[in-house]
Structure 1
């Protein structure tokens, strides 16, 4: 594989369908995007791993949304890793790039850097939020933290909220290619059974942890056989096949699923991006009175704000923010 084909698949999500199994899916590679996301902060390795996994899930799930939508993942826990938050901004037009951003909040004094990253979340919840823009009601789905990874939480979310059997296989970490500096690389595959009427009765308890639904609770007959067969094939994937860069996503699909008649669609390019701006900061502050703004004012007589996603710093005149702000030329 030459360097050109490697670069062509960096930071992309490739949708596909297994025609024989009636299963859809995606293959994703995040390289420069993940580097940029994590470069905005100086996270401990255990937090970097959680952010990397959440970003990969966001890329795979986000590609399912329509143009101009925003999808967010929020993982909140009572452990040292208090919050992992990601956003996926769908392309505004066909052929344009999607954007991803992410950040984490954690208690450094309680963090055990030698422990499994997922264990640092503790009890909490996994949420997916979809914002379709002005004039629409945002959607939010929540499931409890369960399983041994964020991927398992996402699988549980789709089983509970959508009753869609879903499987993720991810790999991520720091990688060094010959003659290049160390950088983050990540790759993953998402499988999802095509939507159908579920045989599961809402009054029944699922067979998973805490009574949560499992794919076997949702599928039956040929659908269950197809799902099990596709999962067995995915179980054979190797970490270096997921991450690349020497295996193209199309080659990976043929290697894993050639008997399932894989069919690919147009890939989606993903880049790091943040939507913060001074106007949005002013809009956020517009609900506060002059008295409230005074409490936010620094000793230097400024109101400041920092973006948690990209680190942008905003420095504003307190007289120009809040709903009592003075207009230009007003004394």
Structure 2
């Protein structure tokens, strides 16, 4: 495979379907996106790993949902890692790239170097939020943290909240090609069963001791057999196949699932992107009075704000802010 071919699959999500097992899925390859997300912050290795995993999940899940606007994942815990947040912005038109941004909030003094990254989150919850834009009601679903990884939490979310058996196989980390500097790469596969509508699923009950559902609580008969078979095939995947860049996603699907009649669809390009702006900052401050804003004003006479996702810094005139604004903002402010 040539260098041009390897680059063509970077920062893309490839949808596919396995016709013989009623399974849909996605293959994701993130290169520049991961590097750009993590470049915005000087995270310790444990936090980088969690953010990278969250970004991979967001890319795979976001492409499965026909959005008009935004999907967000949030992980909140009571450990050193307080919050991991990601946003997936759907493309405005066919062929345009989707955009992803992410950040983490954590207490560096409580981190344990070399410890398991997921353990730093502690007890908390995994949440998915769908915002379809103006005129629609946002949807949110929440499940407890469980399973020892963010991927396992996402699988539990789909089983518990959507009753959709779902499986993720991810790998990510620093990679280095000969003659090139080390940089972040990630790759992964998402499988999701496509169940026929059945009233039995509404009555499914969790069998696990923690009260959370899994695929065994949802599927039976031929569906369960199909799901077990495709998961067994996915278990044979190697990390180098997932992350690439020398194994194309199409070749990977043939290698893993050639007996399941795989079909691929148009790949979705992914880019790092942030929607912050001075206007959005101004809008968020519109609920404050001039007295409130006076407490936020610096000695230099400005109100400042920093974007947690991309690090952009804004300095605004307090007279142009709040519901008692005395002046209109100047051009470029």
SS in 2 for 1:254: helix
Gapped regions of structure 2 (runs ≥ 5): none
What are the superposed Cα offsets for residues 246-305 of structure 1, whole Å, 9 maximum, x if unpaired? 100000000000000000000000000000000000000011011110111111111000
Gapped regions of structure 1 (runs ≥ 5): none
SS in 2 for 1:109: helix
Distance 2:142 2:99 in 1: 23
Aligned-pair CA distance for 1:327: 2.7
Question: Using a 3 Å threshold, how does the CA distance of structure 1 residues 78 and 18 change in structure 2: closer, same or farther?
Answer: same
Distance 1:199 1:25 in 2: 24
**For this pair of structures, how many residues does the alignment match?**
329
Question: Using a 3 Å threshold, how does the CA distance of structure 1 residues 226 and 328 change in structure 2: closer, same or farther?
Answer: closer
Does the CA contact (< 8 Å) of 2:241 and 2:247 recur in 1? yes
The aligned counterpart of 2:87 is: 87
Distance 2:217 2:59 in 1: 27
Does the CA contact (< 8 Å) of 1:69 and 1:90 recur in 2? yes
Question: Using a 3 Å threshold, how does the CA distance of structure 1 residues 300 and 249 change in structure 2: closer, same or farther?
Answer: same
Correspondences of 1:154-233 after superposition (within 5 Å):
154-197=154-197, 205-208=205-208, 210-233=210-233
Question: Using a 3 Å threshold, how does the CA distance of structure 1 residues 328 and 51 change in structure 2: closer, same or farther?
Answer: closer
SS in 1 for 2:37: helix
Does the CA contact (< 8 Å) of 2:204 and 2:218 recur in 1? no
The aligned counterpart of 1:236 is: 236
SS in 1 for 2:288: coil
Does the CA contact (< 8 Å) of 2:22 and 2:195 recur in 1? no
Does the CA contact (< 8 Å) of 2:163 and 2:201 recur in 1? no
SS in 1 for 2:314: strand
Aligned-pair CA distance for 1:114: 1.3
The aligned counterpart of 2:278 is: 278
TM-score, L = length of structure 2: 0.96
Aligned-pair CA distance for 1:198: 5.1
| Greater Cα offset, 63-72 or 291-300 | 63-72
Correspondences of 1:239-254 after superposition (within 5 Å):
239-254=239-254
TM-score, L = length of structure 1: 0.97
SS in 1 for 2:27: strand
SS in 1 for 2:57: helix
Question: Using a 3 Å threshold, how does the CA distance of structure 1 residues 151 and 11 change in structure 2: closer, same or farther?
Answer: same
The aligned counterpart of 1:16 is: 16
SS in 1 for 2:158: helix
Correspondences of 1:258-277 after superposition (within 5 Å):
258-277=258-277
| Greater Cα offset, 313-322 or 65-74 | 65-74
Question: Using a 3 Å threshold, how does the CA distance of structure 1 residues 113 and 196 change in structure 2: closer, same or farther?
Answer: farther
| Greater Cα offset, 249-258 or 195-204 | 195-204
- Cα RMSD (Å) of the superposition? 1.3
Does the CA contact (< 8 Å) of 1:67 and 1:93 recur in 2? no
Question: Using a 3 Å threshold, how does the CA distance of structure 1 residues 198 and 168 change in structure 2: closer, same or farther?
Answer: farther
- Does structure 1 residue 51 correspond to structure 2 residue 51? yes
